Amino acid sequence: MIVEMRTYTMHPGKAREWLDYYEKNGLPVQKRVLGRLVGFFTTELGTLNQVIHVWAYESLADREQRRAALLKEAEWQAYLKNNPAHLIATQESKILVPTAFSPLK
């Protein structure tokens, strides 16, 4: 199993606007196609104005197949077309591999 952690740093005061749009328009199709949403978070301390979401996959190949399938979805294409990406300052994606003793494996 692998975990993908995506971190979006929003322009100050814009996280709520992006989250509202994403929850209504992006999340349903991502949950259906990508599958295992581990968690969705906002930062309260440390670097502020961040939205972090974590998805689990069986492997890098599983992730690649699911992400490719997502791109073929008309609902996802509509989301991308209208996505208020101007609210996002930066984006970072990390692939994490659980240790043998991790509760999430």
Distances (CA, A) of 21 to 11, 82, 83, 87, 99: 15, 9, 8, 11, 35
CATH code, residues 2-96: 3.30.70.100
pLDDT in tens, 8-38: 999 999 999 999 999 999 999 999 999 899 9
Delimit the domains of the chain by residue range: 2-96
pLDDT in tens, 4-15: 999 999 999 999
Distances (CA, A) of 46 to 32, 41, 49, 50, 83: 32, 13, 10, 10, 26
| The amino acid at 4 | E
Neighbours of 92 (CB within 10 A): 11
